[in-house]
Structure 1
């Protein structure tokens, strides 16, 4: 008789699976879970299994290749109808650590704000027709009264391309053949977002989708560099984040040498004035939450000072000096420094090594808490310049890594991230739409969790991708793996606060506040009131 019995084989198999999964941090945390959390986790897993049949295995003739964790833009309408999404939308999510401020308020809200501002005008480079509408981007700007024109319509045969038209007038007089005012709204909103057909068909390469992506920022800049709108925009960003269960935010703001445009169309508002306004708005929102009896709902917001990867080394010296001055003036508001833009097309970190090393030395001499928080490895390259940014980010002492998509190929760097507590700001929906991966199921996030690399889940540019808040990203992560459950989401939410730039005392308070909200949430899952 052979000694290789089925029973002994199955016992060895069970032991191996258990040992391998014990490496995952979320599985190790099972020992710290309360009975109520374990109950809630099982409820969530049961709903996942049920919706795998009723939603994701059902026939959807208009949606190609349906499966849990599928391409986000194709799945979005299905996602919003699920019980899992309803549940996640009410979950306390901790901190949002990777976001770009100019892409944090939905395009429809931004347009609504713009229509309230008489100074904001729009122009186009050529006449609009049904054939040219989709390929003709609008440009926006706040003008001085002396620059106003008598033009009232973008779509008239008499319109002179390049002439500014007051935005409300342009909307009211938009051609009926192009949809009238509603057609104007759709045209503007589409220019600020990436649509499913664009992401999965029209822009069929990384360079093409990045061009569309960058164009959305070029267009919205006409709105967000208008100071009166910027203040409304910032408050809306904070309030909408809170409503999605986000209690602390670190957002990246691109700084320029110029000034923002004031209500009279003058370029007169400096960044010191802007940050003073931001600080006041943050306090207003805190006070509003306290007055509503929800003091735990919002713990604050900080700004990561960013500039673009195409500046020269001399220009970077200027921006670093500006960042240090603003850090000294707003120590509670400036969180760190970063360089942004396509890593595959623009300059690598090593190009800037001299000014970056000078920055490190100066920050240390001044005793400032001003870490680098670098984008790095937002690429599927292996040994490319963009991939090599990971080496420089870590050697330069980055506090966190934005994206870190290619980190999975670097065992030594993974080890260093674990030893140094360098968290990844992982943005799964962004990575999928910008063609780094075909779905969250193929995303290296699962490998990072399996190897115990700290991770903060982030949304990146939700107004462009339509993943407002963090609920959609949490949904995709939950559905993209059979192993991920409610305790995985708990771990990701808590790690986001643990790896924020808050001081240790502030972190303790934020984690305690989040813990209270989490306990209430778990109870509502167990007693079913979350679906009431």
Structure 2
């Protein structure tokens, strides 16, 4: 709450505006010195209301020194990027060669709460997995005749099919679109061979700078490209060996990013994945058993190394498309309940996925969603809603109204929530009820919610102390990682500092679906990692900034 008494006492002219003496200037500071003092007092009052004020006030000497060094590293990084475009995709190669990304990678991020499971890893991982699968097939919307220019525009999909499937020739001028070709044959026939083929396929799933920011690109257009990538990725993910291998490698990527816990979002609308020979269908219970087995195996291996205790686990948010029929949504909700009973420690929430502007609003499924909540309550099951909502530029439109629905239905967190600053009362409710937003900076930029991170709503949300976490959404499509998302928050926003990063990491643990005992353990591990990280900055900084190891003795070091 703003201290209005202080404002009235310090600035009587504010009160005078509400009196009859509108022309009085007696309360205006009489000298530049008094004015500077008044400005400093007002700024200090505002700092005390900042979301990171408590972290600043309790900061240790080590944290204070690390924060000063991080400021200097940011200044140096900004100088190196001076004159370059603001967009992430325009700068990613420069970012990857700089020093600030190294700091972001070493930063202990806590929990990663918004990542779509099949896009955690670079597309090349799934492409390479497919090369040895005998029954993998590929198809295209256009012939890939070497004399054509269809390679750019062709939409590609994959599927594991029966070995007896008759294969077509994608490279023939007479190829009939969407006819299947055996993938091994495709790799043999592709111009330049297998390596060129795999590089081309992976590149088609990544949104380029031109894809995202061409002068004639629109929100609709970039979502078309996004959905094309999703369809292409789908068939590379939905078979047994790829699904199984993905889990351990995804956890390795989390550990490499200094993420200690993750909540992933698979799309459960596909009711089966298939065995590698295409003969068997593995239902959702089989999916969950595979996830359970692979997570346990990976944690056991991590605990046997020097990474003991560094990764606390993984949970699953059940996702259904927001475009399906009501009866299909009812099936998904019942399936979610069934999986929760069988895997109580793994299923942690329910969400709807897909472009909000193209799908149905949450309230279209209100009958099914309320029935789901009553059933959970009757059976003593805890499956909170964790809805995507407000991923839009609309104000008071159908898509924007998902924010009202999410809050009324008790959503534990809100995915994106980009439109929330247009709703001051909803912001207040999120703050008062502890509904955290899962902010995905790079995704929001690439999908045209903001022109660049400079125009992102995160600072406005944090200025109102709305709890936020930072996530990567679909990093496979954006040449990014969670470290890049944190990098973006720091490089473009003066209000974000080391202390802000600390608060974001702590909020990610606090607002996760871990139980109280798991959270307590996670906080103990995270705090030790945080202290180690601050010491690392103090050691790392002087080497790249060319000043002595103690920033307190540097001329101007505390400015």
TM-score of the superposed pair, with normalisation by structure 2: 0.89
Alignment correspondent of 1:62: none
Do 2:140 and 2:170's aligned partners in 1 also have CA atoms closer than 8 Å? yes
- 1:473 maps onto 2:485 in alignment: yes
Do 1:87 and 1:531's aligned partners in 2 also have CA atoms closer than 8 Å? no
- 1:144 maps onto 2:162 in alignment: yes
CA offset at residue 455 of structure 1? Answer: 0.5
Alignment correspondent of 1:491: 503
Do 1:21 and 1:450's aligned partners in 2 also have CA atoms closer than 8 Å? no
Alignment correspondent of 1:500: 512
Alignment correspondent of 1:293: 306
Q: Deviations over 1:427-450 (max 9, x none)?
A: 011001000001111111001111
Alignment correspondent of 2:139: 123
Do 1:431 and 1:437's aligned partners in 2 also have CA atoms closer than 8 Å? yes
CA offset at residue 481 of structure 1? Answer: 1.0
- 1:44 maps onto 2:70 in alignment: yes
Q: Deviations over 1:8-62 (max 9, x none)?
A: 1111111112212322111332112111011000000011112222x122x5xxx
Do 1:141 and 1:223's aligned partners in 2 also have CA atoms closer than 8 Å? yes
Q: What secondary structure, in the 3-state scheme, does the structure 2 residue paired with 1:306 have?
A: strand
Alignment correspondent of 2:319: 306
Q: What secondary structure, in the 3-state scheme, does the structure 2 residue paired with 1:338 have?
A: strand
Do 2:134 and 2:277's aligned partners in 1 also have CA atoms closer than 8 Å? no
Alignment correspondent of 2:81: 56
Alignment correspondent of 2:465: 452
Alignment correspondent of 1:74: 90
Task: Select 2:191's aligned residue among 175, 180, 196.
Answer: 175
Summarize the Cα distance change of 1:158–1:183 in structure 2 as closer, same or farther, 3 Å threshold: farther
CA offset at residue 78 of structure 1? Answer: 1.1
Do 2:248 and 2:294's aligned partners in 1 also have CA atoms closer than 8 Å? yes
Q: Deviations over 1:301-340 (max 9, x none)?
A: 0000010111122221111111001000000000100111
- 1:526 maps onto 2:525 in alignment: no
Q: What secondary structure, in the 3-state scheme, does the structure 2 residue paired with 1:24 have?
A: coil
Q: Distance in 1 between matches of 2:140 and 2:543?
A: 47
CA offset at residue 501 of structure 1? Answer: 0.4
Summarize the Cα distance change of 1:343–1:125 in structure 2 as closer, same or farther, 3 Å threshold: closer
How does 1:81-480 map onto structure 2 within 5 Å? 81-128=97-144, 129=146, 130-147=148-165, 149=167, 154-157=170-173, 161-176=177-192, 180-201=193-214, 204-256=217-269, 258-468=271-481, 470-480=482-492
CA offset at residue 203 of structure 1? Answer: 6.2
Summarize the Cα distance change of 1:191–1:248 in structure 2 as closer, same or farther, 3 Å threshold: same
Do 2:78 and 2:491's aligned partners in 1 also have CA atoms closer than 8 Å? no
Q: Distance in 2 between matches of 1:3 and 1:253?
A: 60
Do 1:95 and 1:500's aligned partners in 2 also have CA atoms closer than 8 Å? yes
Do 1:203 and 1:209's aligned partners in 2 also have CA atoms closer than 8 Å? no
Summarize the Cα distance change of 1:221–1:531 in structure 2 as closer, same or farther, 3 Å threshold: farther
Q: Deviations over 1:63-108 (max 9, x none)?
A: xx53xxx211111011111111111111111111011112111111
Do 2:443 and 2:474's aligned partners in 1 also have CA atoms closer than 8 Å? yes
CA offset at residue 411 of structure 1? Answer: 1.1
Q: What secondary structure, in the 3-state scheme, does the structure 1 residue paired with 2:106 have?
A: coil
Q: Distance in 1 between matches of 2:361 and 2:280?
A: 32
Do 1:86 and 1:531's aligned partners in 2 also have CA atoms closer than 8 Å? no
Q: Distance in 2 between matches of 1:155 and 1:21?
A: 64
Q: Which moved more, 1:164-173 or 1:328-337?
A: 164-173
Q: What secondary structure, in the 3-state scheme, does the structure 2 residue paired with 1:134 have?
A: coil
Q: Which moved more, 1:110-119 or 1:440-449?
A: 110-119
Alignment correspondent of 2:47: 21
Alignment correspondent of 2:494: 482
Q: Distance in 1 between matches of 2:371 and 2:510?
A: 29
Q: Which runs of 4 or more aligned residues in structure 1 lie more than 3 Å from their structure 2 counterparts after TM superposition?
A: 156-163, 180-183, 529-532
Q: Distance in 1 between matches of 2:174 and 2:433?
A: 64
Q: Distance in 1 between matches of 2:339 and 2:235?
A: 24
Q: Distance in 2 between matches of 1:296 and 1:516?
A: 12
Please tell me the root mean square deviation across aligned C-alpha atoms, in Å: 1.9
Summarize the Cα distance change of 1:286–1:230 in structure 2 as closer, same or farther, 3 Å threshold: same
Q: Distance in 1 between matches of 2:295 and 2:187?
A: 33
Q: Deviations over 1:150-184 (max 9, x none)?
A: x5x632457554443332331232124xxx43432
Structure with max Cα Rg: 2
CA offset at residue 419 of structure 1? Answer: 1.2
Q: What secondary structure, in the 3-state scheme, does the structure 2 residue paired with 1:249 have?
A: strand
Summarize the Cα distance change of 1:531–1:255 in structure 2 as closer, same or farther, 3 Å threshold: farther
Summarize the Cα distance change of 1:125–1:52 in structure 2 as closer, same or farther, 3 Å threshold: closer
Do 1:296 and 1:514's aligned partners in 2 also have CA atoms closer than 8 Å? no
TM-score of the superposed pair, with normalisation by structure 1: 0.93
CA offset at residue 359 of structure 1? Answer: 0.9
Q: Distance in 1 between matches of 2:216 and 2:130?
A: 29
Alignment correspondent of 2:14: none
Q: Distance in 2 between matches of 1:319 and 1:134?
A: 36
Q: Distance in 1 between matches of 2:456 and 2:270?
A: 37
CA offset at residue 267 of structure 1? Answer: 4.6
Summarize the Cα distance change of 1:261–1:33 in structure 2 as closer, same or farther, 3 Å threshold: same
Q: Distance in 2 between matches of 1:140 and 1:226?
A: 11
Do 2:351 and 2:386's aligned partners in 1 also have CA atoms closer than 8 Å? yes
